[in-house]
Structure 1
Amino acid sequence: MVDTTVHTLSTLFAVITATGAGVLSILYWQTLRESPFGTVIALLTLTMSAMIVYHVVVFLVEPDTVLLETLRSALYTVVAIFLWLVVVTHRQIDNSAGAG
């Protein structure tokens, strides 16, 4: 565990911010789950939860462990899927607006 004050404060700030963003994305998903953005918002909720778990692990263990590298890789994969879904949803909305 790293014992610097800046590291501790930044990790706690990230956990609090990700928790707030996760709660807001759940509330937003409940409003838009029938819309084309429902899947994107659901994946955003999972991404925020993964960010919380990642920063808790960063706070508790050494920075260069296999667990942390695996968690970071999984998080980047979820973020890439989230961005891909945003692009696909945008194209779907753009094509349906152009056809109508």
Structure 2
Amino acid sequence: MNDSAFKKIDNVLKNYLESDLLVNKKISSKLTIAGKWNQIFKALSDDVKFLDFKNEQVLFLEVSNSSILYSISINKSKIIKSIEELTGIKVIDIKVLVK
């Protein structure tokens, strides 16, 4: 292949990646949070289930009992701060469903 072919491939790839990331920003935010799950929730990470991330601002979680709910409630501000520090995503609230 010649240099112009590589340039064309490079341009196409750049355009695809840029557009794909903008279109799928919501998905990439969810994946970013999921990737840092153990660091964000530490000892609770196995007991907390990710449900949704609405409007890129509100994180919805599911827990199995009220003691985990209580732990998340008293540490909510620390968890929100941890998410922002680890991922760069600003979460304004966490909603928890007890199953």
- TM-score normalised to the size of structure 2? 0.28
Q: Who wins on radius of gyration, i.e. which is larger?
A: 2
Higher relative contact order (CA 8 A, sep 6+): 1
| Structure with greater helix percent | 1
| Structure with greater strand percent | 2
- TM-score normalised to the size of structure 1? 0.27
